[in-house]
Amino acid sequence: MAPRTLARLKSVDFYRKLPTDLTEATLSGAAISIATTFIILFLLGAELSSYMSTQTRTDMVVDRSAHGELLRVNFNISFPQLSCEFATLDVSDAMGLKRLNLTKTVRKQPITEEMQRAGQAVEDKKHHDPKYDEEHPGFQYEDVNISVPLTNDMFDQTAAQYDILVVNFFAPWCPWCQRLGPTWEATTEEIHNRYPESDGRIRLAKVDCTAEVDLCRKHYITAFPSIRIFRHGSGGGVRAAPRGPRRRRVPQLLHGSQRPDSHVVLTTIEPRRRPELQFDAYEYTVQSHKYNAEDHASAKFTYKMSPIQIVVTEQPKQLYKFLTAICAVIGGVFTVAGILDGMVHQVNKIAKKVDLGKQG
């Protein structure tokens, strides 16, 4: 019974085999087989890369933002010819609500004509408690001269010798100089131990203004103690500068700039596997126009929000489509290669017959 059942099962075999003795290997078939193998591997790699890549679908829907949600807008505007005291910020909306001269979230920074910072930013700062050293230098540094005493003859040479020279201009009778003395000598010892004289980067020194009067006058020393920093022999210019603005008006040649940012569209990215990674992005177009400052001494920034929201959703790829593509690649390439091999084999047979006919 069993042999008959097995014989019936064998009759259903779609892939019947030929004996090895009845097959013939050819050089053209081997070349086509090698080429077919590389083509199949390349197509399989391309299908796998396509399956692992991420595809998205873009839909346009009505804006689904929560009611009352705020849009954060950061401005960084530079007016080199405008004093900070004349710069104000006003906000208004389409409903007619206006808020004038906002100061809570405004930070003003003085700048030069080259857009470089020219002073401290004007903002409210929280004053922290000062930090003190754990141990104050004791009496062992009172009568010690670790820092180099400089004279008028050797000052310029010493300043040019080091990249940075920190000089303490003092007077022996000054009580504040006497209090600074131990700390200055302790700091000098620590800096000189870390950066020896052969290093040439930094050195600490001191000048006794009661003995070197001309040197102290040369550097405009008017109070004691005075600490000056010299870089490559230059201490920079010392001059009195006005604290307030040099101009008490808005410059007439100032050109305002009106930049309405229109068509602001909210775009939401929705990942398929990790919904918590969803985020919003805004796309907008910008137009700019210039006006004469005498007619329009202000800069306007207008945002026109679009009621349409763009939703970008990740598209999943089905596994059965990937398997179908793999089978199609293997079967299709193998079939086409078999047809090509059969054509080449038939052409070779005809060529051999023609050669045999000529020889006969």
Residue type, 17: K
| Diameter over CA atoms, the chain | 132
Q: Among positive and negative, which fits the CA dihedral 76, 79, 80, 82?
A: negative
Query: d(Cα 76, Cα 107) in Å, to the nearest integer?
Result: 10
The two structure tokens encoding residue 241: 């500068």
Q: Which residues are registered as beta bridge partners of 268?
A: 280, 311
For residue 334, give the nearest of 44, 48, 12, 14 by alpha carbon. 44
Q: Look-up: residue for tokens 């920093």? A: 229
Tell me the CA distances in angstroms from 128 to 68, 109, 120, 124, 135, one per residue in order. Answer: 37, 22, 18, 13, 21
Query: d(Cα 105, Cα 72) in Å, to the nearest integer?
Result: 12
Q: CB 327: neighbour CB atoms within 10 A?
A: 10
Residue type, 240: A
End-to-end CA gap in the chain: 58
Catalytic-role residue among 174, 177, 216, 327: 174
Q: CB 216: neighbour CB atoms within 10 A?
A: 21
Query: Is 209 considered catalytic here?
Result: no
Tell me the CA distances in angstroms from 165 to 29, 192, 228, 339, one per residue in order. Answer: 85, 12, 8, 88
Question: Which residues are marked as active site?
Answer: 174
